Structures are given as structure tokens and as C-alpha cells.
Amino acid sequence: MTIKQWQRHPSAFSRQALAAYAALVVYGSLYPFSGWRSLGIGPFAYLGDPLPQYLTVFDVITNIIGYMPLGALIVLALYPRWRGSLAVCAAFLGGALLSGTMETIQTYLPTRVASNLDLASNTFGALVGGVLIAPATSALLNRGLLRRMRFAWFERDAAYVLGLSALWPFATLFPAPYLFGSGDLPRELWDNLDPAMQDAILAWIPASWDFVSWPDRLGALLPDDSWEALITSSNLFAALVLATLLTRERAPRIRIMIAMIVLTLCAKVAVSFLQSRSGLTFDWATDGALEGIAIGGVAGLLLVSLPRAVRAALAGAALVVALMLSNLLPVNPYFDIVLADWRQGRYLHFNGLLHWLAWVWPYAALGWLASAAEHAWLARRRAKRGGRGGKDKDRDEGDGRHKHRLL
């Protein structure tokens, strides 16, 4: 079947995925973003260097595979304005530009080595990704199964929510004191503050509040398993609501929720198996965590038929509660053992990215919920004003007709 030009649709999700993946490449190429120095050589000197002395096929293949999704996403993001060979050329040039920029910057990083071989393999990977995806672009974006499911199940403006929901299983992978207890960035920032700065901040808080003892007093109210059940269930419920909030009436919301739970737990088990030194694959599956999974899952399934605004409000409240508890509750000393068992050195960039994702995901979700609530409130306000204006106009016209009759 021939697709006409007006039937070709751009993909907002592809553009968002391209931006996210490019940010991932930048993060992985420049991590840990510290120790910058100059060796007295030009930023492009690596282009004329001989091939690395210790060359491994694994490194070359890894570089090629790492840039293949980038090339594919460039082709998908440019559709339908640029298609075919033109989009493939853009993928090739985009991969070369991004890789060349990263290699140039790596000249000034002590932990990285700028390499012309990396540039060549990365560029080739972007080209391969573009070549492989180009023939299937129209089928994927215009008449593919994923597109039909996307628009049959979800609203047209659900791209951002779909992206957040797709990232949530990854945001739960890095070890946390409580299962799914992400968003503890404020605690991390506070712990890394200079003691003098902490004292200066505490000096502004009334002494009667006894802020320093809050975590211990809060933790003593309930057992650790109960707190973990509350945090786990709150975060899981919010994630399930977010994944199904912008679905259409005929969407299989229950199946989407169950699939999300299963995918998250399978990813958690797999990554824990790969990263654990002593085989603590199920160390996260405490009594409180399992109870929280059951409560959060059941709550999400039972409340799926509530009005959209009510579910969004409940999800926002659950996120706020979970964030407050994750940042205020004292950390169980056992968590240090779990963190020490996690292979920080293996897939260092991957671990760092997972940690950042766990820190920022709840705030991105809360930001979207707040923005959606604001837009809904403004829309109702405009509608109310429009209704009042229409009534006033009708009353004026009626008064005019009445006056005309009197005259």
C-alpha cells in the first residue's frame, strides 16, 4: 500500500528518545566530569595518532553497537521531512559530529583517552543503525503495530508520559535503602555539604523544631518493614497510575499495569544477579518490599476506573509521601553491606546513570503532574469565563430585544 505524503506522521517520541539517548552518550563519554587538565596537545591531535597498541575486538564492537541506536533514532526523528538516503547521511554525519565532539573533549579528561579508532567505529555504528532502520521507518511510524497500539491505547499528547513510564523500571535498578525508594537526592546533597555550611543552614531553623532528631523520631514510629512497605507501595502506585493516566477508554489498562510490574521485577532480578559479588540477587526482596509490591499493585488495579483527575491527585500525593520518607527516614545500617556488594566498578558509567535516574525520576514525574494540573485548571477557568461571557451577551441581547418591544 502506497503511503501518501499527508499520511506520513512525525514521531514526537522518536525525537524525545533521540535527545535522551544523545544525553546518555554524552554522560557515558565524559563521566565522571572531573579532573580536567591540559596535556599541551591540540584537541584534534588524536586524529593523526597511530592505532591504539592494545586493540580489542570487544571495544570496537561495543563502540559500534553503542552508536547504532543513535543512528536509528536520528532517522526516525527526521521522518517524514528527511527519508531514505538523505536521513541515512544525516545519521552518519550526526554520529560523526557527536563522537568527534566527545573524543575532542576527552583529550582533557585524565580517565579517558581520545581515539581515532573510537571515532571511526562510533561513526560506522551510527551509519549501520541508520541503514538498518531506514527501510522500516514508514512501517514503524505509519502502519506498524507499535504505532497502532500507541494511538489506539494512548492519547496523542502522551509521549512524555510514555517516556517517563519506560524509564521507571531502570530508575529502580540502583540499590536504595528501601525498594523503589528513589528521589533521595536532597539527602545526598545534604550529606555532602561542608559541616560548617550545614551548621549555617541549621542556624536559620528554630531550635524548638529539633530538626536534627527528626529522622530518628520518625523512624521509631513504625518498624523498618512497615516503612519500606509504605515507600514501595507509594512509588509503585504512582508509577502505575502515570503509565495508564493518558490511556483511552478501550486500552487494556490492567494488562499494562501487570506488564509493567513484571518487567520491573525481572529487570531488578537480572541486574542484581549481574552486579552482585556474593550472589545477593534477591537481597531487595524483604518482607516489607514484597508487602509494598502487593499493596501498590492492588491499589493501582482497584483504582483504575476512578476519574483521571482523582488518580492524578492520588499519584502526586503518593510521590510526595514517598519522597519525604525516602529523604527523612534513617538509613538502615544493613544497606551499607548491600551497597558494598554492588559492583561499582563494573559498567561504571551505567551505574552512574542509573543512580542519577533514580535521583531525578520522581521529580520529573511530579513536575509533569503539576504542569498537567495547572493546564487543566487554566482550561476550566477559561471555559468558565467563556460561559459567563456568553450568558452576559445573551442577557444584553435579551434586554435589547425587550427595549425594542417597549419602544
Residue 369: how many CB atoms within 10 A of its CB?
22
Task: Write phi, then psi, for 55 (nearest 5 degrees).
Answer: -100, 125
User: Does residue 175 share a domain with residue 91?
Assistant: no
Does one domain contain both 205 and 92? no
Same domain, 68 and 178: no
Helix axes 224-244, 348-406, angle to 10 degrees: 60
> Which ranges of the chain have pLDDT less than 50?
1-7, 345-346, 393-407
Q: Which phi and psi (to 5°) does residue 283 adopt?
A: -65, -25
Nearest alpha carbon to residue 235 among 310, 332, 309, 164: 164
- Burial zone of 32 (CB within 10 Å; 0-12 exposed, 13-18 middle, 19+ buried): exposed
C-alpha grid cell, residue 106: 576527552
The boundaries of the domain holding residue 375 are: 159-380
* pLDDT for the residue 362: 93
Domain boundary at 108, 143, 178, which?
143
Contact 251, 158 (CB under 8 A): no
Residues 124 and 258 in one domain: no
User: Among 77, 109, 143, which residue terminates a domain?
Assistant: 143
The answer for residues whose C-beta is within 8 angstroms of residue 101's C-beta and 6 or more apart is: none
The torsion angles phi and psi of 276, rounded to 5 degrees, stand at -80, 135
Residues 109, 166 within the same domain: no
What residue ranges in 27-134 does DSSP mark as E strands? none
Q: Is residue 133 domain-shared with residue 224, that is, in the same domain?
A: no
Q: What pLDDT, on the 0 to 100 scale, is given for residue 143? A: 62
What's the CA gap between 224 and 84, in Å, rounded? 57
Distance CA 364, CA 122 (A): 31
Predicted local distance difference test score (pLDDT) of residue 403: 32
**Same structural domain, 136 and 175:** no
CB 366 within 8 A of CB 320: yes
Would residue 385 count as lying in a domain? no
pLDDT (0 to 100) of residue 244: 93
Torsion of CA 368, 371, 377, 382, to 10 degrees: -130
Cα–Cα distance, 214 to 219 (Å, whole number): 8
Given this model, what pLDDT does residue 387 score?
A: 67
One domain for residues 123 and 39: yes
Tell me the three state secondary structure of residue 72: helix
Same domain, 82 and 17: yes
In a domain, 395, yes or no: no
Residue located via cell numbers 576527552: 106
Question: Would you state the pLDDT for residue 73?
Answer: 93
Cell numbers standing for residue 36: 580536567
Any alpha helices (H) in 4-56, and if so which ranges? 12-30
Residue 267 falls inside a structural domain: yes
- Domain assignment of residue 148, yes or no: no
| Same domain as 177, residue 110 | no
Which residues lie across from 154 on neighbouring strands?
Answer: 247
Residues 126 and 175 placed together within one structural domain of the fold? no
pLDDT of residue 113: 77
Within 59-207, strands assigned E span: none
Q: Tell me, what's the pLDDT at 404? A: 34
Q: Are residues 83 and 232 in the same domain?
A: no
Contacts of 48 (CB under 8 A, 6+ apart): 116
Q: How many domains does the chain have?
A: 2
Q: Name, in order, each residue with C-beta under 8 angstroms of 286's C-beta and a sequence gap of 6 or more.
A: 179, 225, 228
Residue 248 lies in a domain: yes
